[in-house]
Amino acid sequence: MVAHDPRLRLTDEARESLLAQTIELPSWAFGNSGTRFKVFAQQGVPRDPFEKIADAAQVHRYTGAAPRVSLHIPWDLVDDYEALAAHAADLGVTIGAINSNLFQDDEYMLGSLTHPDPAVRKKAVEHHMRCIDVMRATGSTDLKLWLPDGLNYPGQDNLRARQDRLAEGLQEIYAALDPEHRLVVEYKFFEPAFYSMDIPDWGTALLHCLALGDRAVVVLDTGHHAPGTNIEFIVAQLLRQGRLGAFDFNSRFYADDDLMVGSADPFQLFRIMHEIVSAGALAPDSGVNFMLDQCHNIEPKIPAQIRSVMNVQEATAKALLVDTEVLEAAQRSGDVLGANGALMDAYNTDVRGLLAELRESQGLAPDPLTAFAASGYTEKIVAERVGGAQAGWGA
Amino acid sequence: MVAHDPRLRLTDEARESLLAQTIELPSWAFGNSGTRFKVFAQQGVPRDPFEKIADAAQVHRYTGAAPRVSLHIPWDLVDDYEALAAHAADLGVTIGAINSNLFQDDEYMLGSLTHPDPAVRKKAVEHHMRCIDVMRATGSTDLKLWLPDGLNYPGQDNLRARQDRLAEGLQEIYAALDPEHRLVVEYKFFEPAFYSMDIPDWGTALLHCLALGDRAVVVLDTGHHAPGTNIEFIVAQLLRQGRLGAFDFNSRFYADDDLMVGSADPFQLFRIMHEIVSAGALAPDSGVNFMLDQCHNIEPKIPAQIRSVMNVQEATAKALLVDTEVLEAAQRSGDVLGANGALMDAYNTDVRGLLAELRESQGLAPDPLTAFAASGYTEKIVAERVGGAQAGWGA
Amino acid sequence: MVAHDPRLRLTDEARESLLAQTIELPSWAFGNSGTRFKVFAQQGVPRDPFEKIADAAQVHRYTGAAPRVSLHIPWDLVDDYEALAAHAADLGVTIGAINSNLFQDDEYMLGSLTHPDPAVRKKAVEHHMRCIDVMRATGSTDLKLWLPDGLNYPGQDNLRARQDRLAEGLQEIYAALDPEHRLVVEYKFFEPAFYSMDIPDWGTALLHCLALGDRAVVVLDTGHHAPGTNIEFIVAQLLRQGRLGAFDFNSRFYADDDLMVGSADPFQLFRIMHEIVSAGALAPDSGVNFMLDQCHNIEPKIPAQIRSVMNVQEATAKALLVDTEVLEAAQRSGDVLGANGALMDAYNTDVRGLLAELRESQGLAPDPLTAFAASGYTEKIVAERVGGAQAGWGA
Amino acid sequence: MVAHDPRLRLTDEARESLLAQTIELPSWAFGNSGTRFKVFAQQGVPRDPFEKIADAAQVHRYTGAAPRVSLHIPWDLVDDYEALAAHAADLGVTIGAINSNLFQDDEYMLGSLTHPDPAVRKKAVEHHMRCIDVMRATGSTDLKLWLPDGLNYPGQDNLRARQDRLAEGLQEIYAALDPEHRLVVEYKFFEPAFYSMDIPDWGTALLHCLALGDRAVVVLDTGHHAPGTNIEFIVAQLLRQGRLGAFDFNSRFYADDDLMVGSADPFQLFRIMHEIVSAGALAPDSGVNFMLDQCHNIEPKIPAQIRSVMNVQEATAKALLVDTEVLEAAQRSGDVLGANGALMDAYNTDVRGLLAELRESQGLAPDPLTAFAASGYTEKIVAERVGGAQAGWGA
């Protein structure tokens, strides 16, 4: 029988990989969010980018694994980015990817980079110039572009012409990047457009990246696919092309639910991490940025981010426990049950104790959620952050 | 060969049915709507329930088929419902169903009628008492209840206990109705809850109605189903049980897109109307209320409602053109292609000329969209409705 | 921190429940199966019902949890059912549910119980009389009816008339049952019909059961739902109505894939078992029969059944480990993360060691798969079962 | 108001396009087919490739639009291809694409071109050499490869290694083609594999084609996508890349139902043809081969193919009726309702009379179905084709 104690099975190398893994947090996850029906306000929610970064730093403080914070422009516009970066550094974190926003300006109602009107397209391109300035000011190297453009009705616009306009706009943006910058392009199956998105799938995103150049890579948001889509296959495919730039982690039962990663289908998250690990893409220099992109509509935001980081860590630890030799031998010999069993053996292992020990070895509390709850931080921000406009989507 | 001119094939009885069909409009379709990302404002949008009804009356003026307007409480709360009803009557329309709203109060974050806290459940029940008062004041006979309650995470609450609480709340509401009132209960697959809705499907809605009594009936919103669901089967099933109370018409490609009815899958709308016609449920006394429930996020609202009414009329006209004798003979003899062909023959018929003639026979313009555009109404409201808060979801 | 060793947390009562749980095996899982493209033959596959039962008995021998075998009529027709039952008893198993087959007779091309031709319907009803005779001969108490009837094309037949015919046929079958017999009715979303199944969902199955009487109950096949359907909600709903008669366990990524239960989404299986456990429906006298219904197209059949039984046991053990007090307290107080965490704590526990110990306490080998592999049974049947027609669907 | 008589609106050029459109028929559509549960036999079904071609020629005889027949190897293996081609020529048709079959050999249980065993991969490559010989003997220029390879269970094999093996095998096949040959590569979402197909989507198929060279193009089977996928977007995308090689037309409600094209969602078929027409890809020299790929499980096969050809013609005629000037003006000006209305105006037009006239102008009967029924051909083959093994999948 297989030894079920994972500590006996984790190699030193795997242990180092686990310790080295980092997960980027999105600033907007700390503001209020909701559905089209209602955004429920929570007490203590940040009122500006500085407070968002402070909250994000708490997640890093208790997990030791979340040292970067993505910004969102214009939501996170501030007068002084050096001050924001310094604030982050003081709290032990750095600025990660810069996300451009193409969905909240009235002029973008019928599209931004794909809009029939050249003036609107020009405006959308120029917004990215502003984002690149923020990158320079903050030291960020990833410009992240999620295109909300699309159509609600058949015939509303010309599907193919929109691809041409998009290619043109991306070219201008890509040309403006500094040599150390990447353009990371995200795709989405549907929403906010309900007939056809202009970048609906990985194939479309990849074709645009291939046309742009080596520093254009694809972002895979785990919630942005048709029902039943095999996401780990896409992970493998993008890795094979050398174009998997980042993850936007979250989870879903139906549409783009943006629930905590690993909460809807933990086995899927494990399978994704297995593709990452087996392709050697866990290493910090692999070019794959692991980010969260979630909406905490009804649960408290900081603990929800902590839990999400832990979920990614648990899936990663299990992926690192796969006995590669046993797995590959079974695969080679056509032993269907044996190969599947080798994978499941790792998945079925309880790695929470292992991760608790690793945290303690880093001087962290074994259970980040308990430690955060005991810290009094929540009570403090609820008391302090009274008045002012809470941050949220659109704020 | 079959005669393709539909005027030669429409029976007098079918012609009368077409002329008698009415479609109820939702007041909220005239306010701004959007996605969780953005609500785009449109010029001339109503600022209060009186203006919403004025716009709805325009749809009736040009189609002759939309004489009722559903209200939504609290969005359409006014001080004087007699005045609102009189305003409607002056414009040639009446008040239709009263929709209760259980999703926009902060206390409802974790549920309303199913909330674990009895105080919240009590509040939700009492909200319906207020709605029933509005019914009495406006002469409305349908209390429409769409339950947004549900869970985002497995384990968040007890699925079964929530059904028990729901049954209890519905009982109290049902008991408060007047004898001429109906409770119409809507189901929805997902959104705003992303793990489990408390009334996710027609089976659940129907079980609650059966437990309540004869005046509890089901609302079928065409956008509220899992991918691939055969909606006309559900129509047939609910008609067979005598419990199809109403439609909320709209259309979808993905989730609950709330696009104009008939715009995504006109053949499906035709199949639905074929079930209605073949069960004799088109008649005004059938108990089936045909309503629209749509979001015009990017298109102008009044023409979009006109187009939607026309789409329902076209689907209905085609359903009335089905040659029942040919169809049934083919069905009885197991002639698969013949039976399908009989249905398709009606669907493939162009009924627009026929409907234009019917409109003219009623003293209406043959093309409602052209006539409305020429009326100058849009220009008038754009000029008049400057200032004030535009109506929208939540306004 | 929570104690992760599950042995410390399993109550005596839960331990007894685990030991008492039984899972029924389908005779057809031991024959060859496949897709419409190809059935791949495996060596040693049974050639008659006696050999199927012998193979099923192996699963029971090594798991101690699979003491019943479902038969399928006409696939498992034999001359002497007393002999078959005695053969089963010799091998330590009994005969479980009797499945009627309504899909392999040429006359059923356009339907069986719903066929437009009364003669075909009569034949289909009479087939069930034969099945009831087999029940009497074998001591089976469950007549299991999965209706493959449906339409491929809109208009092909009258949806509502087919419900009426179905109700009539079910009435005749139900009337023929002995007092100790149950009729268990299964639903399916699609396949073999591709436009509309006549029992496509739990609502339809339940309505027919309610019309029949107390001994008509619903079978939930985990693969028979639309994408995204929340299956545990249906489990809770049917338990609330007292009408969950049985499971057909298997798993799926896409359609009715019929993969090994727990292999595609082990978390879903756990959530289902959590509903079962929390409603007290795990007890043998609950009326819920846990059955497998799977196709082992490419993997060896006996080990695949063993693995499936183990998967159900693991999910059940985890469900029994849920700390109900912690869970309910969190639910009552609206602690979303706490309640979800209580559930996940059980799910994330590794219960394999616990189950190995329980097996040893029953005198079984701790790992059934290893023990079966070491037994030489596979080699024996491969050598012995040469010649003759292998059993399979349709054989 | 728009003139609804389509004859007044069809330009001469569009009329010529309609007359020039051809649709290729699959030989296997004339044999029996079914589901994994049952293949129902029909009287008069062909017993060899010669009889299949004779039946296909009937479809061409009555529609004038189906002059090519695809073969399937090994199902359509004959000793003398010159004789088969001559037989086809005598009946007025030619041989179209040659389809390789990689799913019915026992050795392919775990894959063909992606199998872990190099010997199996070699065999699969060599099977294509045989197909290329058939191409040379029949004058076919398209080698069509649908890869049924994939996995049923996570871990069963290495996803990425399978892509590498596939790339290698395709390279060998591509290298063996003659200069006038194309390799047309089909993708499929799922089935027969239920966890992961090796070519599951258009992105994967296109990447392999790009790696191979200019004569490798993608086949779009309309039934091979995830629920909700916007197929016309993929059409536009592949046309934009110059890599849309062919369609496999059919229709679906759920999975790969293989129903008659246009029967499940005629509006979708119209939207697809609108992309084709607006990209100029209807022209015979566009490189897009319009083929049917359907299963007539319960309907008679020749009339079902005739109906399918007519459905494609009707969708094409409607697409040709789109008033491009009105559409583009509305698109440019952001007139959402106007642009959608321009498309719908064409879709809502009844083109059956127009097509009947076009047929008569070619010396054909106006209604192919009636003319075929009156011809006595069905009665003749039912009488003649008694005895022998009927063709079907696998026969």
Tell me which residue in D206, D232, D267 faces A203 most closely, judged by beta carbons. D206
Half-sphere exposure of C137 (CA within 13 A, CB side): 18
B349/D350 CB distance under 8 A = yes
Any C CB within 8 A of A11 CB = no
Task: Report the alpha-carbon distance of residue B151 to residue C265 in Å, rounded.
Answer: 20
State residue D9's pLDDT score. Answer: 84
Q: Would you place residue D4 in the very low, low, confident or very high pLDDT band (cuts 50, 70, 90)? A: low
Residue A192: is the preceding peptide bond cis (ω within 30°)?
yes
Q: What percent of chain A has a predicted confidence (pLDDT) above 90?
A: 95
Any B CB within 8 A of A180 CB = no
The answer to whether D183 and D170 are in contact (CB under 8 A) is yes
Any A CB within 8 A of D327 CB = yes
A228: left (phi over 0), alpha (psi -120 to 50) or beta: left
The answer to whether B52 and B93 are in contact (CB under 8 A) is no
For D207, name the nearest residue in chain A, comparing CA atoms only: A203
Any B CB within 8 A of D341 CB = yes
The DSSP bridge pattern shows strands B196-197 and B150-151 to be antiparallel
Q: Does residue A224 sit in helix, strand or coil?
A: coil
Any B CB within 8 A of A35 CB = yes
State residue B9's pLDDT score. Answer: 84
Mean pLDDT of A24-35: 96
pLDDT tens per residue across span B10-58: 899 999 999 999 999 999 999 999 999 999 999 999 999 999 999 999 9
CB contact set of D275 (below 8 Å; sequence gap of 6+): A159, A160, D232, D235, D236, D239, D281
The answer to whether B239 and B257 are in contact (CB under 8 A) is no
Q: Assess whether pLDDT exceeds 80 at residue D3.
A: no
C216 backbone dihedrals φ, ψ, rounded to 5°:
-105, 120
Structure tokens at D106: 């026992």
**B7: DSSP letter:** G
State residue A27's pLDDT score. Answer: 97
pLDDT tens per residue across span D200-215: 999 999 999 999 999 9
Task: Report the alpha-carbon distance of residue C247 to residue C142 in Å, rounded.
Answer: 13
B1/D350 CB distance under 8 A = no
A62 backbone dihedrals φ, ψ, rounded to 5°:
-95, -20
H or E element that contains B369 = helix B368-375
Show the beta-strand stretches assigned E in C23-130. Answer: 25-26, 68-73, 94-100
Q: Would you place residue D92 in the very low, low, confident or very high pLDDT band (cuts 50, 70, 90)? A: very high
Chain B residues with CB-CB distance to A255 below 8 A: 190-191, 254-255
Subunit partners of chain C (3 or more CB pairs within 8 A): A, B, D
Burial-class residue A104 by CB neighbours within 10 Å (0-12, 13-18, 19+).
middle
**From residue C29, how far is each of B96, B113, B225, C41 by CA, in Å?**
56, 45, 33, 13
Chain B residues with CB-CB distance to D350 below 8 A: 4, 348-350
For D190, name the nearest residue in chain C, comparing CA atoms only: C254
Any A CB within 8 A of C74 CB = no
Q: Assess whether pLDDT exceeds 50 at residue A1.
A: no
Any D CB within 8 A of B179 CB = no
State residue A3's pLDDT score. Answer: 52
Q: Which amino acid is at D317?
A: A
C394/D38 CB distance under 8 A = yes
Q: Assess whether pLDDT exceeds 90 at residue D8.
A: no
Q: Does residue C24 sit in helix, strand or coil?
A: strand
Mean pLDDT of D219-235: 98
Best B206, B233, B252 residue to mutate vs chain C (most C CBs within 10 Å):
B233
C298/D109 CB distance under 8 A = yes
Which residue positions in chain C have pLDDT lower than 70?
A: 1-4, 394-395
D28 backbone dihedrals φ, ψ, rounded to 5°:
-70, -15
C1/A228 CB distance under 8 A = no
State residue B4's pLDDT score. Answer: 62
Alpha helices in chain A (DSSP H): 12-20, 49-63, 81-90, 118-138, 159-176, 202-212, 231-240, 266-278, 301-321, 324-332, 336-347, 352-361, 368-375, 377-384
A356/C227 CB distance under 8 A = no
Per-residue pLDDT of chain B (395 residues; tens, 9 = 90+): 445 678 778 899 999 999 999 999 999 999 999 999 999 999 999 999 999 999 999 999 999 999 999 999 999 999 999 999 999 999 999 999 999 999 989 999 999 999 999 999 999 999 999 999 999 999 999 999 999 999 999 999 999 999 999 999 999 999 999 999 999 999 999 999 999 999 999 999 999 999 999 999 999 999 999 999 999 999 999 999 999 999 999 999 999 999 999 999 999 999 999 999 999 999 989 999 999 999 999 999 999 999 999 999 999 999 999 999 999 999 999 999 999 999 999 999 999 999 999 999 999 999 999 999 999 999 999 999 998 899 987 54
Task: Report the alpha-carbon distance of residue A44 to residue B252 in Å, rounded.
Answer: 38
pLDDT tens per residue across span D29-78: 999 999 999 999 999 999 999 999 999 999 999 999 999 999 999 999 99
Q: Does residue D315 sit in helix, strand or coil?
A: helix
Task: Report the alpha-carbon distance of residue D271 to residue D265 in Å, rounded.
Answer: 10
For B258, name the nearest residue in chain A, comparing CA atoms only: A194
Rg over CA atoms, chain C:
21
Q: Assess whether pLDDT exceeds 60 at residue D394.
A: no
Any C CB within 8 A of B298 CB = no
Structure tokens at D72: 């399937």
One DSSP character per residue, A232-297 reads HHHHHHHHHTT-EEEEEE-B-SSSS--BPTTSS-HHHHHHHHHHHHHTTTTSGGGS-EEEE----S
H or E element that contains D247 = strand D244-249
Chain A residues with CB-CB distance to B303 below 8 A: none
**CATH fold for the domain made of B21-321:** TIM Barrel (3.20.20)
Tell me which residue in B299, B340, B349 faces D337 most closely, judged by beta carbons. B299
Task: Report the alpha-carbon distance of residue C316 to residue C273 in Å, rounded.
Answer: 6
Closest C-alpha among B265, B192, B263, B278 to residue B230: B265
Any B CB within 8 A of C240 CB = yes
Chain D residues with CB-CB distance to C109 below 8 A: 40, 298
D299/B336 CB distance under 8 A = yes
Q: How far is CA C36 from the centre of its chain?
A: 22
State residue B17's pLDDT score. Answer: 95
As a whole number, the mean pLDDT across chain D is 96
**From residue C331, how far is each of A11, A306, B233, B388 by CA, in Å?**
40, 20, 37, 43
B203/C110 CB distance under 8 A = no
Any A CB within 8 A of C307 CB = yes
State residue A2's pLDDT score. Answer: 47
Any D CB within 8 A of C119 CB = no
Mean pLDDT of A256-271: 98
**From residue A150, how far is each of A111, A196, A200, A244, B299 by CA, in Å?**
7, 5, 9, 24, 14
Mean pLDDT of A146-150: 98
Chain B residues with CB-CB distance to A154 below 8 A: 263
B195/A253 CB distance under 8 A = yes
The answer to whether B267 and D267 are in contact (CB under 8 A) is yes
Tell me which residue in A106, A154, A298 faces B109 most closely, judged by beta carbons. A298
B190/A297 CB distance under 8 A = no
The domain locations on chain A are 21-321
D159/A232 CB distance under 8 A = yes
D255/C254 CB distance under 8 A = yes
D300/B353 CB distance under 8 A = no
State residue C1's pLDDT score. Answer: 40
pLDDT tens per residue across span D108-131: 999 999 999 999 999 999 999 999
For C111, name the nearest residue in chain B, comparing CA atoms only: B334
Closest C-alpha among C64, A23, A266, A154 to residue D265: A154
For A116, name the nearest residue in chain D, comparing CA atoms only: D332
Any D CB within 8 A of C228 CB = no
**From residue A254, how far is each of A26, A152, A265, B196 by CA, in Å?**
22, 20, 12, 10
Q: Would you place residue D149 in the very low, low, confident or very high pLDDT band (cuts 50, 70, 90)? A: very high
Query: How many residues are listed for chain A in this entry?
Result: 395
pLDDT tens per residue across span B226-266: 999 999 999 999 999 999 999 999 999 999 999 999 999 99
State residue B288's pLDDT score. Answer: 98
CB contact set of A297 (below 8 Å; sequence gap of 6+): A33, A34, A35, A39, A40, B152
ipTM: 0.97
Chain A residues with CB-CB distance to C350 below 8 A: 4, 348-350
B37/A104 CB distance under 8 A = yes
Structure tokens at B208: 């609650």
- What angle in degrees, to the nearest 10, is found between the helix axes of C352-361 and C301-321? 110
B191/A254 CB distance under 8 A = yes
Tell me which residue in B36, B189, B194 faces A36 most closely, judged by beta carbons. B36
| Inter-chain CB pairs, A–D, below 8 Å | 142
Q: Which residues, in sequence order, are bridge partners of residue A52?
A: none
Shortest Cα distance from D158 to chain A (angstroms)? 7
State residue C241's pLDDT score. Answer: 98
C348/A353 CB distance under 8 A = no
Chain C residues with CB-CB distance to A299 below 8 A: 336-337
Closest C-alpha among D144, D108, D135, D140 to residue D124: D108
Q: Assess whether pLDDT exceeds 90 at residue A393.
A: no
